[in-house]
Chain A
Amino acid sequence: MSMEDYDFLFKIVLIGNAGVGKTCLVRRFTQGLFPPGQGATIGVDFMIKTVEINGEKVKLQIWDTAGQERFRSITQSYYRSANALILTYDITCEESFRCLPEWLREIEQYASNKVITVLVGNKIDLAERREVSQQRAEEFSEAQDMYYLETSAKESDNVEKLFLDLACRLISEARQNTLVNNVSSPLPGEGKSISYLTCCNFN
């Protein structure tokens, strides 16, 4: 597949405290790997994965950012062009959950108002060390109008689902936008039955 051969291109940026497993989520999704002893990310990492959703090629540009404070000004510069943000915390680390409001303030300040934000609680393979209950996280995400998903990059739980559901949402959002912006000229391929609405299941 050539570089330009895609129907949609979306930018997804992962943010959240250091050590919550952002890089592992990205590696698991893009390379099917779980690198143990992953060092801290420096600045930002960049991965591309093209997926097919209902016959449409969707190119996902995934920006994996460093969680450490000293890289904040670098990572913030990527918020504006992001179509989606994956805000990640570690279910075994109360602190990473408590920092979420701070991250939301950053999103408010720097991201586009059309951005889709998904809250992800990672490391559910360490259930015995859980510090943040699912209910608490769900209530929080509901109050903030975000989608919530629990994942394990190690066991590969919900990782595919996270990115594919997000891609589905981005597609339907993109379609809605073009419909609103220019009603008279439908997208090529718009005549197809609108099955993408049923392909996603957000919990």
Chain B
Amino acid sequence: MADLESLEKLAGVSQPSEGVGGARCSEISTDLIRSLTELQELEAVYERLCGEEKVVERELDALLEQQNTIESKMVTLHRMGPNLQLIEGDAKQLAGMITFTCNLAENVSSKVRQLDLAKNRLYQAIQRADDILDLKFCMDGVQSALRNEDYEQAAAHIHRYLCLDKSVIELSRQGKEVANKAEENLLLVLGSDMSDRRAAVIFADTLTLLFEGIARIVETHQPIVETYYGPGRLYTLIKYLQIECDRQVEKVVDKFTKQRDYQQQFRLVQNNLRNSAPEKIEPRELDPILTEVTLMNARSELYLRFLRKRISSDFEVGDSMASEEVKQEHQKCLDKLLNNCLLSCTMQELIGYYITMEEYFMRETVNKAVALDTYEKGQLTSSMVDDVFYIVKKCIGRALSSSSIDCLCAMINLATRELEADFRGVLSNKLRMGFPATTLQDIQRGVTSAVNIMHSSLQQGKFDTKGIESTDEAKLSFLVTLNNVEVCSENISTLKKTLESDCTKLFSQGIGGEQAQAKFDSCLSDLAAVSNKFRDLLQEGLAELNSTAVKPQVQPWINTFLSVSHNIEEEEFNDYEANDPWVQQFILNLEQQMSEFKASLSPVIYDSLTSLLTSLVAVELEKVVLKSSFNRLGGLQFDKELRSLIAYLTTVTTWTIRDKFARLSQMATILNLERVTEILDYWGANSGPLTWRLTPAEVRQVLALRIDFRHEDIKRLRL
């Protein structure tokens, strides 16, 4: 038994005093005994060994005596083993229990701490509520005291108010969002009372108040949010505010739609535009509502721009270290919030209806201006041109005031259509009636133009109430229309410039995003292009005037040239000098006719007309010259006549007409030659600064008009 062994050792150690040599070996080793040879020595060793043996025996006896006690101790020890295990388990259990209790205590105490905090807050809240009640009490007190003219009492209340914690007032502002609702509803109610000044825009004003309220909340809370949550969190605050804003906007717009009959009006307008309306809406009645809607939209745009600016600059600070992706994600969130909020959608809807109604307003008012067109003596244009442009400007201006670029562009497009198709059509129809001539051959024309008038007025769906009472009036109407067309062209260019400068301000505020300017420029250039269309119409009208009024008159006057002989002797030539046979009368006639136009056409148109006239005279005169025959003096006479004519025409035109008469002048030079061969002094290498406008064949043709030149000489010429 291992246990026994160790126990023996243990016993040996425990009795060092009894076993003197017990623990050590005998002093006499076996080797020593073997080396002994002397008997004496052997005996001595033997004796010592015997002595040692006795000691060992004694020690053994002592040890054997102890065996019983040791055994009994061992039994007790064995009995104690299970007890020890039990104690260990109990100890562990106890330790677990202590930990649990400890945790429990910890929990309880933290809960107590929380409770304590809550209690504190509750106390604070109660305190605040008390303060607010106090505040209200003070206010009521001041009011009632003032009503009762008890000024001392009022002063006491005010004193009490001033003693209140400043933070109470600050805190009460936080509840403003809700208070706003009340404030704004109150105003709605007030709206019905305020029947005068701002009544026409009461809904725009209501929205403004709402937006201003929210803007104030953002202003006051932004620093708080920034301090406690850090930058980049404003978006979250505004997201929640926007929900409330949308709720309020919905209410206001609902009220607006109901009170102003907005939908109903829109539907009526739509039917009117489709010509299927039972009743016509007076455009003037739409005026106030159109103004109000644009104002409402302008306020919304301003508010949304404010939010965008605030949120993006807050994001900018918050995202200064962020990745490009995060930045884009934030930008997307911002776009989504502002583009998809109910406010945006509602306003887009209102503006959609607005555009259709504004279009109707513009069209109907333009029609009215055309119907009421009047002409005052001494004026070049009639009333409708100024009226129409006033209307168009007003409508585009109103669209501009909405601050919506898409709305503005749509109205520019619609104005372009109105001017290009409708109004230009009106003027074009008037010109198509023609300029009545007074000569015999044109009585027929008068009939056809009367038929034309009937046709065009039927096409327009109405009769020209003024009618054409006399040819004079018809003439005037034509000329006034020409002036009108020219002014339209000018006005469109002016309108374009005005709009351009008006909008630079808008774009500098960054309205409408990056494309806004490009969109606007494109629409505006379409509008500007209509100016050229009016210019084309003017040219058409002038050509008509020239071919139907000027040419039939001028042609007979030129034809009389043929009845004046240019084959003359000295005597006749002198006689012509005293009694001009043709040119003076012709100039007089021209002057008379042109004076009629000069008085009633704008300088620019008059200039164009005289230009057409001089071309006509040059072409027609060339024709009759080629039909005449000349001798030397006749050629000289023609040269004199042509010089007088050119001199006169130079005085009535602002630009040089020499070019138009170059061919005729060269013909006069040829008709003035002494001999056929003299032409060579002016031809080819000898022409000097002169550029011949006549071909060699034409030169021969003109030479042949001289009856005193021989055909062979002309044929022989080398040109």
> Which of B339, B349, B414, B518 lies in contact with A70, CB distance below 8 A?
B349
Interface residues of A in 45-82 (CB under 8 A from B): 45-46, 48, 61, 70-74, 77-78, 80-81
Say yes or no: A42 contacts B352, CB within 8 Å.
no
A71 contact set on B, CB distance < 8 A: 348, 352, 406
Taking A39-B336, A45-B515, A46-B515 as contacts, is the C-beta distance between A73 and B522 under 8 angstroms? no
A44 adjacent to chain B (CB < 8 Å): yes
Interface residues of A in 6-57 (CB under 8 A from B): 37, 39-40, 42-46, 48
> Which of A40, A42, A80 lies in contact with B417, CB distance below 8 A?
A80
Q: Report A116-150 CB contacts with B as 1/0, cut-off 8 Å.
A: 00000000000000000000000000000000000
B356 adjacent to chain A (CB < 8 Å): yes
Q: Report B385-429 CB contacts with A as 1/0, cut-off 8 Å.
A: 000000000000000000011110111011011000000000000
A73 contact set on B, CB distance < 8 A: 352-353, 355-356, 359, 410
CA distance A119 to B52 in the complex (A): 132
B336 contact set on A, CB distance < 8 A: 39
B526 adjacent to chain A (CB < 8 Å): yes
CA distance A151 to B416 in the complex (A): 34
Say yes or no: A74 contacts B406, CB within 8 Å.
yes
B519 adjacent to chain A (CB < 8 Å): yes
A78 contact set on B, CB distance < 8 A: 413
B518 contact set on A, CB distance < 8 A: 46, 48
Say yes or no: A70 contacts B410, CB within 8 Å.
no
Say yes or no: A80 contacts B522, CB within 8 Å.
no
CA distance A158 to B339 in the complex (A): 31
Taking A61-B522, A70-B352, A77-B414 as contacts, is the C-beta distance between A42 and B339 under 8 angstroms? yes
B405 contact set on A, CB distance < 8 A: 43
B404 contact set on A, CB distance < 8 A: 43
A46 contact set on B, CB distance < 8 A: 515, 518-519, 522
B335 adjacent to chain A (CB < 8 Å): yes
CA distance A37 to B409 in the complex (A): 27
Q: Report B39-72 CB contacts with A as 1/0, cut-off 8 Å.
A: 0000000000000000000000000000000000
Q: What residue of chain A has the Cβ atom nearest to residue B346's Cβ?
A: A70
Say yes or no: B410 contacts A74, CB within 8 Å.
yes
Q: Report A141-183 CB contacts with B as 1/0, cut-off 8 Å.
A: 0000000000000000000000000000000000000000000
CA distance A71 to B336 in the complex (A): 18
Give the number of chain B interface residues (Cβ < 8 Å): 31
CA distance A42 to B519 in the complex (A): 13
Say yes or no: B413 contacts A81, CB within 8 Å.
yes
Say yes or no: B345 contacts A70, CB within 8 Å.
yes
Q: What residue of chain A has the Cβ atom nearest to residue B357's Cβ?
A: A73
Closest chain-A Cβ to B2's Cβ sits at a distance in Å of: 82
A81 contact set on B, CB distance < 8 A: 413, 416, 526
Say yes or no: A39 contacts B339, CB within 8 Å.
yes
CA distance A46 to B405 in the complex (A): 12
Q: What residue of chain B has the Cβ atom nearest to residue A109's Cβ?
A: B274
Say yes or no: A77 contacts B413, CB within 8 Å.
yes
Q: Report A80-122 CB contacts with B as 1/0, cut-off 8 Å.
A: 1100000000000000000000000000000000000000000
Say yes or no: A72 contacts B417, CB within 8 Å.
no
Closest chain-A Cβ to B521's Cβ sits at a distance in Å of: 10
Q: What residue of chain A has the Cβ atom nearest to residue B521's Cβ?
A: A46
> Which of A39, A72, A80 lies in contact with B352, CB distance below 8 A?
A72
CA distance A73 to B339 in the complex (A): 19
A72 contact set on B, CB distance < 8 A: 352
CA distance A70 to B351 in the complex (A): 8
A45 contact set on B, CB distance < 8 A: 515
B339 contact set on A, CB distance < 8 A: 39-40, 42
Interface residues of B in 338-363 (CB under 8 A from A): 339-340, 344-345, 348-349, 351-353, 355-356, 359
CA distance A37 to B404 in the complex (A): 25
Say yes or no: A43 contacts B406, CB within 8 Å.
yes
CA distance A70 to B348 in the complex (A): 7
Closest chain-A Cβ to B568's Cβ sits at a distance in Å of: 43
CA distance A74 to B406 in the complex (A): 7
Closest chain-A Cβ to B599's Cβ sits at a distance in Å of: 35
Q: What residue of chain B has the Cβ atom nearest to residue A47's Cβ?
A: B515
CA distance A77 to B526 in the complex (A): 12
B335 contact set on A, CB distance < 8 A: 39
Taking A46-B515, A61-B522 as contacts, is the C-beta distance between A77 and B348 under 8 angstroms? no
CA distance A44 to B519 in the complex (A): 9
Closest chain-B Cβ to A105's Cβ sits at a distance in Å of: 12
CA distance A73 to B345 in the complex (A): 15
Q: What residue of chain A has the Cβ atom nearest to residue B353's Cβ?
A: A73
CA distance A46 to B353 in the complex (A): 23
Closest chain-A Cβ to B496's Cβ sits at a distance in Å of: 16
Closest chain-B Cβ to A25's Cβ sits at a distance in Å of: 17
A44 contact set on B, CB distance < 8 A: 406, 409, 519
CA distance A81 to B515 in the complex (A): 19
CA distance A78 to B410 in the complex (A): 7
A80 contact set on B, CB distance < 8 A: 413, 416-417
B351 contact set on A, CB distance < 8 A: 74
CA distance A71 to B409 in the complex (A): 13
CA distance A160 to B689 in the complex (A): 59
Q: Can you list 11 contacts pairing A with B, beta carbon distance less than 8 Å? A: A42-B348, A43-B405, A44-B409, A70-B348, A71-B348, A71-B352, A71-B406, A73-B352, A77-B409, A81-B413, A81-B526
B residues bordering A, Cβ < 8 Å?
332, 335-336, 339-340, 344-345, 348-349, 351-353, 355-356, 359, 404-407, 409-411, 413-414, 416-417, 515, 518-519, 522, 526
A residues bordering B, Cβ < 8 Å?
37, 39-40, 42-46, 48, 61, 70-74, 77-78, 80-81
Q: Which 3 A-B pairs have the closest CB atoms?
A: A43-B406, A77-B413, A73-B355
16 more A-B contacts (CB under 8 A) besides A42-B406, A73-B356, A80-B416?
Answer: A37-B332, A39-B336, A39-B339, A42-B339, A43-B348, A46-B519, A61-B522, A74-B352, A74-B409, A77-B355, A77-B409, A77-B410, A77-B413, A77-B417, A81-B413, A81-B416
